[in-house]
Structure 1
Amino acid sequence: MRAWTLPVLLVLCGSAIAIGLISRGSPGAAAAILLVFVLLAGVNSALVFPRSIGALEAQRRSAADGRPVVYWRPGCKYCLRLRTRLGRSARRAHWVDIWRDPAGAAVVRAANDGNETVPTVVVAGRPHTNPDPEWVREQLPGAV
């Protein structure tokens, strides 16, 4: 549920501002403001990330296919940066939302001295905290 807190708050704030602008006779400005807040909500939601799986399943799949496991959480600007810079190749990694999976959060805490610092990317069993997106792309199967 907390993954949707920020997006919902953004939409509510945008709606409140839009209502205020409409009551003052500025429907065009209201629509523009509401659109900006809805876009911000979308970017800060889980919708822009590949479908998450559980940490245990991600580890099992990674051992079988050699793909990196990316531990992330909604609202994290560094996770969004990684996701954006990977583009379509992001689907070639296994993604674990640590807010939905306690085992994933435990993996991240173990790798980061008890902190839930994300993104944490595990490649061949070795964790890398907030790695360069280009480096992550090179670790993906089929990278050029």
Structure 2
Amino acid sequence: MYLEINLDGRVTGSDTQTPYSLLQLKPVKPGHVVIKGPSSSLFLCVDRGGNLRGQSHYSETNCTFRELLLADGYTRFISSHYGFAVSLASRHSPDQHTVPFTRFLPLRNNLKTDSASEQSPNNQRLFNMDSDDLLGMGLNSVASPQFSMDK
């Protein structure tokens, strides 16, 4: 499933990649990231009840996540303040045996884009998506199976 931040702030999952499932991760300190949906212009946030939502303004308390790289190449995101894992499963689901969808795998964008939208506004730095150090942090990282297959 692809995590999506929709225009109305709902956080859902989709079986296919959509413009709302393309997410940007920005490190704010070692091991902690902010997740933003460029199509919705909303930050991924969590409330004290563990409910995910998109919101237009960044709040360190609600919108910062600890990024845990797992040995299998997947990533878990845990609320830095509340300790809840980012999950696409409903916390109120009567079926306690459902898959929690708490592990995420970075994937390449497979959507067609306009050449105009690929241009960087105000000469901002572009990320090299083929780099082993995408965010320029100079840290050794666990290789994602998806990225490793393509090299």
Q: Tell me if both proteins adopt one fold, taking TM over 0.5 as the criterion.
A: no
Q: Point out the structure with max Rg over C-alpha.
A: 1
| Structure in which a larger fraction of residues adopt strand | 2
Instruction: Give TM-score scaled by structure 1 length.
Output: 0.23
Higher relative contact order (CA 8 A, sep 6+): 1
Instruction: Give TM-score scaled by structure 2 length.
Output: 0.23
